[in-house]
Structure 1
Amino acid sequence: MNPEIVRTQRPAASRTFSVLLSPTRRGARLARLLTVAHLGAWGLPSESAAHIVAELAANASVHGRVRGRDFRLRLAVHHEVLLRIEVTDTRGDSVPSGPGSVEAPVDDAEGGRGLLIVEALADHWGVVPGPVPLKTVWAELDLAR
């Protein structure tokens, strides 16, 4: 007589890492270096993850920057096969286009390719707004591939 319980969230991550970083070029670089270091220590591949973190952290530093407020990098590994990368900044009013709707910049543009790189490398990615004033851009990588 008990109704079936439906899981609506992912099971708890087997490994996690989270850090607050300054929204600067140095903070974005440190996010990438910390990602490579932690994934290496966990015995997991890091090349695609490093590129994704570099782009998301750069976006948080350029487009999500609010003076005096940091951005958060979070890495979570589920069942040793799924890596979820989250970068949270304090510019919830500046939400990027979601998956499948990122437009390519003109050929001679100096920027605008970051989310296209994320879209090409990640198995899934998206944007979660709130709570105000936050937003989180996330990406998932299937480590079994």
Structure 2
Amino acid sequence: MSLVKKNTELRPFYSSLLDEFFNTVMPYQSTEERSGVPALNVKEDDQNLILDLRIPGMDKENIKLEYKDGFLNISGESREEKEEEGEKGKYLRREFSSYSFHRTIELPEEKYNVAEAEASYKDGILEITMPKNAETEKLQKTIEVK
């Protein structure tokens, strides 16, 4: 079972493959408008699953976490406008930029306690901590044939 589910987008296979390999913006994307899949670190100890996503420059108010049917969807969007005016109100330079991301992670409810998950965002890193459910011992029994 894979913990991370890949996003499916309508674009050529090779560009998706290259995006993942080089972690770059492809030529079909302008530098003013980017979307992507943030880098993800997954850590697990005896009590918790910890997910770290690198999403610098994002306001925490623009980050959305939703859990449904065994999948955690993490998304965000950031827009920025810069403007410099010249004489008589004519634009010398005007820039608009936006960035959005989406990441889907499979988290089975029987293994993780999603109801007690916590998230924090600091220095461009979104950290999601989720307690693991207590593992129940699998029943093993010898049945006597009579």
TM-score using structure 1 length: 0.30
Q: Whose strand fraction is larger, Structure 1's or Structure 2's? A: 2
Structure of higher CA gyration radius: 2
Q: Whose helix fraction is larger, Structure 1's or Structure 2's? A: 1
TM-score using structure 2 length: 0.30
